[in-house]
Amino acid sequence: MVIGLQHLILKENRVNQQNLTLSVSANFISLSVRDYLSNNLLKFDKKIFKTPLSVENINEEIQILLNSNNYENQKFDKIKLIQENNFFALVPDELYSSKEKTTYLKFKTEIKDDDFVAVDNLNNFKIKNVYIPYVNVNNYLVDLFNHIDYYHYNTELINKLFEIKTNEQFFVNVNNGKIKIILFNEDSLGYFNSYDIENSSDIIYYILLTLKEYNLEINKTEIVYIIDHDYDNLFDMSSNFFDNYKILNEDFQGDFLHC
């Protein structure tokens, strides 16, 4: 893991009318560009990796993706970086202390004294998402664009689902190599977990496991999929196990967090 102190992430006055969003992980990198005024999607591109990237190689792949779209030297009004990794912990506000940030992560990964730990707010739930960001990616993008805002993938996913949900409570975000299962209990976050997966059978297994652990009836619970990566037989298998499921982002032009 690349660690260390971050460069200063700067803010500047609006100089362009386009916003860039980048999502990075070991399994994929994606970008989208939106018009600032209309919010229309101008571009979406995504690269999938069959073999997970090392942290050190992520910057190279970002550079390739930006160059292929002629964005490396472009000015943007806003740059948002969404980082996906397993080095996170959700901590209720009443249990959170800024002095104990590394303590919350010690069961997830090995923490070194000079590791930089970031914190996102899930304000709707009074929860902190404590995580280790890709510092090398942050520094590379600050050098390139001068200013960025960055968040953990889980923060963005939970917050966005809460904002748009109606009566749904059981969500499954499917991406390359990983799923996130989110369970809402009215206006509270009832459950969240992230699982590494290889195929559709893994996805069905973790859904069934969560249903069982929370005593939810298979025939009555609506499974809401957010499909950011296709697994060929997922919906055939889903039809065999679940009476009630749907795809939330079926008509989207890009990944859920880019739309």
Task: List the one residue out of 246, 91, 243, 84 whose CA is nearest residue 165.
Answer: 246
Q: What is the pLDDT of residue 4?
A: 45
How confident is the model over 88-134, as pLDDT tens digits? Answer: 999 999 999 999 999 999 888 888 878 899 999 999 999 999 999 99
Instruction: Say how many domains are in the chain.
Output: 2
CA distances from 144 to 136, 138, 221 (A): 12, 10, 46
Contacts of residue 186, defined as CB under 8 A and 6 or more positions apart, other chains included, come to none
Q: What is the pLDDT of residue 7?
A: 54
Last residue of a domain, one of 125, 141, 162: 162
What is the Cα–Cα distance from 211 to 208, expressed in whole angstroms?
A: 5
Token reading at 218:
């298979």
Task: Judge whether residue 1 has pLDDT over 50.
Answer: no
Q: Give φ, ψ of 191 to 5 degrees.
A: -165, 145
What is the Cα–Cα distance from 235 to 203, expressed in whole angstroms?
A: 11
Band of pLDDT at residue 184, cut at 50, 70 and 90: very high
Last residue of a domain, one of 129, 162, 195: 162
Band of pLDDT at residue 213, cut at 50, 70 and 90: very high
What is the Cα–Cα distance from 158 to 166, expressed in whole angstroms?
A: 14
Provide the residue range defining the domain that includes 120.
Answer: 1-162
Q: Give Dmax over CA atoms of the chain in angstroms.
A: 54
Q: What is the pLDDT of residue 112?
A: 80
How confident is the model over 224-235, as pLDDT tens digits? Answer: 999 999 999 999
CA distances from 67 to 45, 148, 170, 175 (A): 12, 18, 38, 24
Task: Judge whether residue 151 has pLDDT over 90.
Answer: yes
Q: Do 114 and 143 have their domain in common?
A: yes
Q: Which is more confident, 16 or 149?
A: 149
Handedness of CA 35, 39, 40, 45 (dihedral sign): positive
Q: Do 113 and 239 have their domain in common?
A: no
Q: Do 140 and 180 have their domain in common?
A: no
Q: Which residues pair with 82 in a beta bridge?
A: 23, 151
Q: Give φ, ψ of 44 to 5 degrees.
A: -140, 135
Q: Is 99 exposed, middle or buried (0-12, 13-18, 19+ CB in 10 A)?
A: exposed
SS (H, E, C) 123-165: CCCCEEEEECCCHHHHHHHHHHHCCCEEEEHHHHHHHHHHHHC
Indicate which CATH number applies to the domain containing 194: 3.30.420.260
Percent of the chain with pLDDT over 90: 82
Q: What is the pLDDT of residue 110?
A: 82
Q: Do 89 and 5 have their domain in common?
A: yes
CA distances from 142 to 9, 11, 241 (A): 6, 10, 47
How confident is the model over 11-40, as pLDDT tens digits? Answer: 444 446 899 999 999 999 999 999 989 999
Q: What is the pLDDT of residue 107?
A: 83
Q: Do 90 and 212 have their domain in common?
A: no
How confident is the model over 38-62, as pLDDT tens digits? Answer: 999 999 999 999 999 999 999 999 9
